[in-house]
């Protein structure tokens, strides 16, 4: 599904990217999480992979930026510089409505993890994996089936089920209704 053809969603994506760049610069973790949640809410409606990819990246960045012990490492600086450049170029491609190049810029962010080494590489890989699972649980919470959610994010049903079980999302009883007598009385009031 190509949701970006919709002008409103295109503006929303651009806003999210610009706000993400601003949050990276100011190290605003709360804003990054809020942007990720906003994006995943849109993804739950449209079920598009672009929204999901952005949500995972933005949420991952909120976790990565929170780790001050990596800030001085050269490969961390290079990684974050690449993230910023790819987000900036992604925004340019979106403005031009060149969606394939936009997706390529976004994919470059996750691909750049392969250029890292040592503990930093493992840490960032884990963060992105956890972000996928976290965002999958949020999609499931919004009513998308586990299987569809797992496929959308490229994770296993087992990983999603395990996480959902820990969070208690699956324990929410959505079938709670008013007692029958109360519903009958409400119906009668409608016709009075």
114 vs 46, more confident: 114
CA atoms of 14 and 39, how far apart (whole Å): 11
Residue reference for tokens 């990596």: 70
Burial (CB count <10 Å: 0-12, 13-18, 19+), residue 103: middle
DSSP string, 25-67: HHT-HHHHHHHHHHHHHHHHHH--HHHHHHHHHHHHHHHHHT-
Four-CA torsion 57, 60, 61, 67, nearest 10 degrees: -160
pLDDT in tens, 8-43: 678 888 999 999 999 999 999 999 989 988 887 777
| Cα–Cα distance measured from residue 27 to residue 72, given in angstroms and rounded to the nearest whole number | 15
Q: Average pLDDT of the chain?
A: 82
Whether the CB-CB separation of 181 and 175 falls below 8 Å is answered with no
Separation of alpha carbons 15 and 18, rounded Å: 5
What's residue 48's pLDDT? 77
Note the pLDDT of residue 6: 60
pLDDT of residue 14: 93
**Tens digits of residue pLDDT in 45-88:** 767 788 888 888 999 999 998 887 777 889 999 999 999 999 99
DSSP per-residue string spanning 78-113: HHHHHHHHHHHHHHHHHHTT-HHHHHHHHHHHHHGG
- 192 pLDDT band (50/70/90 cuts)? confident
Ramachandran region, residue 115 (left: φ > 0; alpha: ψ -120 to 50; beta: rest): alpha
117-149, pLDDT tens digit by residue?
989 899 999 998 888 888 887 777 777 777 777
pLDDT at 163: 63
pLDDT of residue 169: 47
Average pLDDT score over residue span 177-181: 77
* pTM for the model: 0.74
Residue 168 has pLDDT above 60, yes or no: no
Taking 70 as the threshold, does the pLDDT of residue 4 lie above it? Answer: no
* Site of tokens 């009385």: 185
Question: Would the pLDDT of 2 be above 70?
Answer: no
Measured N-to-C along each axis, helices 7-26 and 74-95 cross at an angle, to the nearest 10 degrees, of 160
Nearest to 59 by CA among 124, 154, 10: 124
């Amino acid at each position: 599904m190509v949701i970006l053809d919709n002008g409103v969603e295109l503006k929303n994506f651009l806003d999210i990217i610009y706000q993400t760049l601003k949050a990276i610069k100011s190290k605003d973790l709360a804003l990054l999480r809020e942007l990720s949640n906003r994006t995943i809410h849109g993804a739950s409606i449209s079920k598009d992979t672009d929204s999901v990819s952005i949500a995972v990246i933005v949420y991952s960045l909120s976790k990565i930026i929170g780790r001050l012990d990596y800030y001085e490492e050269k490969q961390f600086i290079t990684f974050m510089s690449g993230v910023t450049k790819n987000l900036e170029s992604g925004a340019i491609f979106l403005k031009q409505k060149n969606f394939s190049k936009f997706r390529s810029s976004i994919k470059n962010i996750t691909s750049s993890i392969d250029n890292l080494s040592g503990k930093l590489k493992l840490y960032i890989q884990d963060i992105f994996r956890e972000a996928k699972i976290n965002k999958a649980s949020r999609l499931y919470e919004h009513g998308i089936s586990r299987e569809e959610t797992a496929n959308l994010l490229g994770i296993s049903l087992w990983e999603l089920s395990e996480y959902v079980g820990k969070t208690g999302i699956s324990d929410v009883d959505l079938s709670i209704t008013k007692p029958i007598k109360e519903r009958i009385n409400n119906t009668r009031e409608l016709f009075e």
